[in-house]
DNA sequence: GGCGACGCTAGAACCGCGTTCCAGAAAGTG
DNA sequence: CACTTTCTGGAACGCGGTTCTAGCGTCGCC
């Protein structure tokens, strides 16, 4: 082989401009955002990085790990974002009503998954990501402060954690059309029209089909969350003296 | 067709024993149960059916459609199972308290996805499956009977529907080890041990790690569902005269 | 009862993908 | 200056989804 490339490629060796795991994951996140999970391939990533497969596989074990790292980064960024913990006044989570803080945290997770729709399924598929554990811990801590008695902590933390993650993931998972993002309004319109034809077999569906035209995923996520939290508050109110 | 096979293969032509869409989907469900989504390939399916790829692709457009049909069948079976609607006494859904019926329905969905863990992610990925629509319709109908006012029906039906589907899917999605089903108890043991080492960064996690040793996914699904439904009951109690 | 059309099949082949191999280039080490 | 270590990238392997197509049986029709 002649001298690999006279001039316009990354030079190998352990230089300061060497590829790092972080750079690879960053590029993966960007590509996943552009193409969705289906369109994302290692070959495309390699091309974008102007390198070869060996370079990527030096830093990560395989594609699964790569996507997991990318998803972990998305969730981690949601957890570290100020919106997930601070009040408008600039105070930390520590001074907020726990339930309010829980709501904020959940919204931050939802918004992060909404921006990176490919990450949702990934996070729910294997909730062993470091940042998923961190989220669980945050949820649990807030429940403790909300006064959940010790024997209910694990169960209720799991319930809230799972609800937030699973529902966010499902609601933000778009129909990954390979590249062209369909017009949302037109899509809802078509769906509603289709549903109205099912009056025979699915009366309720046909009945509410019209509501679909102005429905907002994010708002519904909040309704569900509030329902769950109000159920939780009810349980706490029933046995206030059980607290630890 | 006594000879059924000239040499030792299915004969072509449009005989009564020709492959049908149903047969293909049946075989797909069976294979998916055995191998999980990752291990399932069209080639394996073709081999099991003792035929060629052309036969399969004559009946379904592509692998995605095939898996979607399989998932749809799983969900549909849950909806038609007696457990999803009948009381022990043999009466139908019609005579049951709506909330109780809702619970039953949710459990049927959970159990179906629990038996076919590969189906969960599939159903949540594209909730446009016919049986998903049917589920939504059932949920909505029960909410109407529970007294949900008209202007809240669509929103609340979506919330309950999404919760049931998304949480079931997440909790039943196993770590699809390609063939060997790991011992659950040992897995929980290892997880708990690992969590206990995180006391520094994740105090709550370390605190409840022990609880993980005897935790039951199904039970926690029910806790979450009941929390949501009790929140819903609370909303209804607040404005009883709004009913339609 | 021959005959063409159609439904359905299955082998071969195409192509893109994840992944591995390995020869080798720069930077670090003595 | 050898010599090691870290990192690279072109080539190649094997597998998986999918398409192509020659052909088999059966049915409708004259």
CA distance A167 to chain B (A): 6
CA distance B44 to chain A (A): 22
Angle between helices A217-238 and A98-115 (to 10 degrees): 150
pLDDT at A185: 83
Nucleotides on chain D that have an atom closer than 7 A to a protein CB are 5-12, 15-27
Portion 81-120 of A in contact with B at CB < 8 A: none
Q: H or E segment at A139?
A: helix A130-146
In chain B, what are the domains? 84-242 (1.10.357.10)
**Residue A171 with chain B: CB contacts under 8 Å:** 162, 166
Residue listed under structure tokens 């607290």: A243
**In contact, B171 and B220? CB cutoff 8 Å:** yes
pLDDT tens, B172-196? Answer: 987 665 445 567 888 888 889 888 8
Phi, psi torsion values for A234, nearest 5 degrees:
-60, -40
Of A163, A171, A231, the CB nearest to B230: A231
CB contact under 8 A, B170 and A127: yes
| Residue B7 touches chain A, beta carbons under 8 Å | no
pLDDT at A198: 87
What helix, strand, coil percent values describe chain A, rounded to 5?
Answer: 70, 0, 30
Residue B60: CA count within 13 A, CB half-sphere: 23
Rounded distance, CA A163 to CA B163, Å? 7
Is the CB of A6 within 7 Å of strand C? Answer: no
Nucleotides on chain C that have an atom closer than 7 A to a protein CB are 6-13, 16-28
Of A88, A72, A81, A71, residue with least CA distance to A106: A81
Of A166, A175, A205, the CB nearest to B140: A205
Q: Digits of tens for pLDDT over chain A (244 positions)?
A: 333 333 345 566 666 666 789 999 999 999 999 999 999 999 999 999 999 999 999 999 999 999 999 999 999 999 998 777 765 555 566 667 999 999 999 999 999 999 999 999 999 987 789 999 999 999 999 999 999 999 999 999 999 999 999 999 999 987 665 445 567 888 888 888 888 888 899 999 999 999 988 889 999 999 999 999 999 999 988 765 554 4
Residue B81 pLDDT level (bands cut at 50, 70, 90): confident
- Give Cα separations from B185 to A110, A153, B115 (angstroms): 32, 21, 18
Q: What letter would DSSP give residue A66?
A: H
Tell me the CA–C1' distance in angstroms for A220 and D13. Answer: 49
Angle between helices A98-115 and A130-146 (to 10 degrees): 160
Portion 157-216 of A in contact with B at CB < 8 A: 157-159, 162-163, 165-167, 169-171, 173, 175, 195, 198, 201-205, 207-208, 211-212, 215
Is the CB of B54 within 7 Å of strand C? Answer: yes
Residue A178: CA count within 13 A, CB half-sphere: 4
- Give Cα separations from A48 to A11, A56, B94 (angstroms): 16, 11, 59
A–B: how many Cβ contacts below 8 A? 165
Dihedral in degrees, nearest 10, Cα atoms B89, B90, B92, B96: 10
**Residue B219 with chain A: CB contacts under 8 Å:** 155
Percentage above 70 pLDDT, chain B: 82
Highest mean pLDDT among B122-126, B211-215, B231-235: B231-235
**In contact, A171 and B162? CB cutoff 8 Å:** yes
The pLDDT of residue B84 is above 80? no
Of B134, B167, B226, the CB nearest to A166: B167
pLDDT at B14: 61
Least confident range of A94-103, B43-52, B151-160: A94-103
Rounded distance, CA A132 to CA A157, Å? 13
CB contact under 8 A, B220 and A158: yes
Q: H or E segment at A113?
A: helix A98-115
Rounded distance, CA A148 to CA A233, Å? 9
**In contact, A81 and A134? CB cutoff 8 Å:** no
CA distance B234 to chain A (A): 8
Highest mean pLDDT among A57-71, A165-179, B3-17, B199-213: A57-71
CA distance A173 to chain B (A): 7
Of A162, A73, A200, residue with least CA distance to B162: A162
Is the CB of A65 within 7 Å of strand C? Answer: no
């Amino acid at each position: 082989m002649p001298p690999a490339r006279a001039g316009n490629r990354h030079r190998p060796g352990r230089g300061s401009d060497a590829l790092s795991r972080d750079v690879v994951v960053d590029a993966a996140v960007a590509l996943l955002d552009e193409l969705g999970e289906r369109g994302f391939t290692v070959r495309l990533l390699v091309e974008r990085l102007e390198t070869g497969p060996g370079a990527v596989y030096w830093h990560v074990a395989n594609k699964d790990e790569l996507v997991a790292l990318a998803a972990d980064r998305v969730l981690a960024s949601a957890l570290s974002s100020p919106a997930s913990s601070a009040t408008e006044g600039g105070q930390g989570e520590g001074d907020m009503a726990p339930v309010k803080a829980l709501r904020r945290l959940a919204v931050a997770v939802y918004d992060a998954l909404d921006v990176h729709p490919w990450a949702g399924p990934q996070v729910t598929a294997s909730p062993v990501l470091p940042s998923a554990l961190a989220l669980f811990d945050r949820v649990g801590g807030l429940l403790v402060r909300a006064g959940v008695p010790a024997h209910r902590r694990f169960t209720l933390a799991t319930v809230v954690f799972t609800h937030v993650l699973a529902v966010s993931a499902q609601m933000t998972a778009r129909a990954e059309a390979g590249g062209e993002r369909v017009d949302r309004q037109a899509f809802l319109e078509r769906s509603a029209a289709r549903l109205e034809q099912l009056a025979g077999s699915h009366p309720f569906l046909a009945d509410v089909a019209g509501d679909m035209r102005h429905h907002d995923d994010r708002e519904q996520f909040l309704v569900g969350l509030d329902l769950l939290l109000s159920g939780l508050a009810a349980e706490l109110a029933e046995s206030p003296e059980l607290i630890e």
